[in-house]
Amino acid sequence: MSDGHLGPMAPKEIASSALVKGEAAPAVRVKDLSFSWPKGSFRLKVKSFEVKAGERVFISGPSGCGKSTFLSLIAGILKPNQGEIFIDGQNLASKSGPKRDKFRGDKLGFIFQQFNLVPYLNILENVILPCRFSKVRYDSATRAAGSPAQAARALISRLELGEDLLDRPVSRLSVGQQQRVAAARALMGRPPLLVADEPTSALDADLRLSFLRLLAQECREAGSSLLFVSHDRSLAGELDRAVDFNDLNET
């Protein structure tokens, strides 16, 4: 069923919007990045990596290879020892801690492996959460749908979560539903980049593909780039490009 949504019309839109932007900054551009934990022996070195605006990239690699550290650097949680990380045209590596936090709230949507939701908020409140910390996302959602709540409702229904779930405590959702709520939250206010860190690994095999397709489709719809990290290579073909993390990391 989701195949129907991935019709041939959508790529055209992306292509045209990329054209309109012309020299639109890439969603991610990493140059000569190096990072090592203060005490540990672990080192990360990425010479060059780029995700174009609107591009959806699959990154694969075994666990413990440094994917999470790489994502923390892109998210601005960690600061690199050397190199540059441009997100939507701005260099994260030169920003202070609180600025990186604000930047993350404005520009990035996250989906984690599991337990993505704040337990004491209902579904609607969870989805709106980014708008509470970022004015940029708030304004964007308001422009798109009239209000963040409206935007959240729209996203929830697009992600095939019934209206009747809206007020339900998140603890009573299935894992698949939880991940879709997390996707809706990440997409709120159409951030330039979505980062999904093993979002399907807690799902049953038959749900993984449909979740990935739904996510990819909604990213295209929102015009957001997607960085999808998974150790499950069988999904790699679903996105615009697939990268093996071991090829990225030069240590």
Partner 1 sequence: MKRFATLVGLALKSAWNRRLTLFLIVLSVSLATILLVGLERVRGQVRTAFLQAISGTDLVVGARGSQIQIILYAVFHLGGATNNMGWDSAQKIAQRSEVAWTIPISMGDSHQGYPVVATTQDFFKHFRYRRGMELKLAKGREFGDIFEVVLGSEVARQLNYELGQSLVLRHGLGTVAPEHSDKPFTVVGVLASTGSPVDRSLYINLESMEAIHIDWRGGAPIRGFTISADRARKMNLTPKSITALLVGLKNRRQVFNLQRELQSAPGEALSAVMPGVALDQLWRILGSGEKVLWLVSILVTATGLMGLISSVLAGLGERRRELAILRSVGARPFDILTLLSLESLALTVAGVLIGLSILALIIALLGPIISEAYGLVIELSPPTAREGLLSLAIIVAGYLAGLVPAIRAYFLSLGDGLSLSL
Does residue number 97 form part of the binding site for partner 1 (CB under 8 A)? yes
Stretch that binds partner 1, among 27-35, 48-56, 73-81, 230-238 (CB under 8 A): 73-81
Residue 88 is encoded by which pair of tokens?
């939507």
Residue 187 CB, shortest distance to partner 1, in Å, is 12
DSSP string, 12-34: HHHHHHHHHHSSPPPSEEEEEEE
Between 15 and 118, name the residue whose CB sits nearer to partner 1: 118
Contact segment (CB under 8 A) with partner 1 among 19-27, 39-47, 85-93, 127-135 equals 127-135
Shorter beta-carbon distance to partner 1: residue 14 or 92: 92
Q: Is 115 in the site for partner 1 (CB under 8 A)?
A: yes
H or E segment at 110? strand 108-111
121 binds partner 1 (CB under 8 A): yes
Contacts of 25 (CB under 8 A, 6+ apart): 53, 86, 88, 89
Residue 113 vs 224, nearer CB to partner 1: 113
> What tokens does 185 get?
């939250």
In sequence order, the 6+-apart residues with CB closer than 8 A to the CB of 46 are 30, 33, 34, 70, 83, 248, 249, 250
167 lies in the binding site for partner 1 (CB under 8 A): no
| Three-state helix/strand/coil letters over 141-195 | HHHHHCCHHHHHHHHHHHCCCCHHHCCCEHHHCCHHHHHHHHHHHHHCCCCCEEE
Task: Choose the stretch contacting partner 1; rule: CB under 8 A; options: 8-16, 41-49, 106-114, 149-157.
Answer: 106-114
Region of 36-44, 130-138, 148-156, 231-239 interacting with partner 1 (CB under 8 A) = 130-138
Q: Which of 4, 40, 62, 119 binds partner 1 (CB under 8 A)?
A: 119
- Residue 65 tokens, joined: 């290879």
Tokens 């590596």 correspond to what residue? 93
Binding site for partner 1 (CB under 8 A): 68, 71-72, 75, 77-78, 97-98, 101-102, 104-106, 108, 110, 112-121, 129-130, 132-135, 185, 197
